[in-house]
Amino acid sequence: MDWKQEAADKLMQYEVRRQSLESIPAEIKRLELDYTALRSSVPDAIPARGSGSRREDAMLTNIVRREELARQLESARAWVALADEGLAALDEEDRLVLDRFYVHRHKGACERLCEELDREKAQVYRRRDRALRRFTLALYGGLES
């Protein structure tokens, strides 16, 4: 397994995962409101033999979706917490470099960092590699050669 690539991928997904910590609870709340509306509706018909009504099916689907979202929310919380711990182990300059190269990627990130850090391209790339290695070690411990 390429641990450095795994860490880079984690950084590239960081903002989206962080956003999911807000969007998933909002979706769960929306489903809860939908469920309340389903419970108060009038049954649509007498169910056919051996099957439930459309209302019951909609209620069960809603419950299953909320449970799945709750599991995804816990996973996202753990994922973001792990990434936050890895980033916390770095100094401010390392976090800035990883942020520009992976988290908030922009065209010309290296050139921008050269200006901000007053460094040459080769130095910025070395700093990126060092920061990524330190982040990877903070996340996964020892690395295979």
Per residue in 83-122, pLDDT (tens digit) is 999 999 999 999 999 999 999 988 889 999 999 999 999 9
Residue 131, both tokens: 């920061």
The reply to whether 42 falls in a domain is yes
The reply to whether 145 falls in a domain is no
The reply to whether 105 falls in a domain is yes
3-state SS class at 2: coil
Q: Residue 15: what pLDDT?
A: 95
d(CA 77, CA 21): 7
How many distinct structural domains can be found in the chain? 1
Q: Residue 41: what pLDDT?
A: 52
Q: 14: closest CA among 91, 93, 101?
A: 101
The reply to whether 84 falls in a domain is yes
The reply to whether 16 falls in a domain is yes
Using alpha carbons only, give the angle 121, 125, 127 rounded to the nearest 5 degrees. Answer: 115
* pTM across the whole model: 0.76
Domain containing residue 59: 3-140
Instruction: Quote the mean pLDDT of the chain.
Output: 88
The reply to whether 83 falls in a domain is yes
pLDDT category of residue 76 using cuts at 50, 70 and 90 = very high
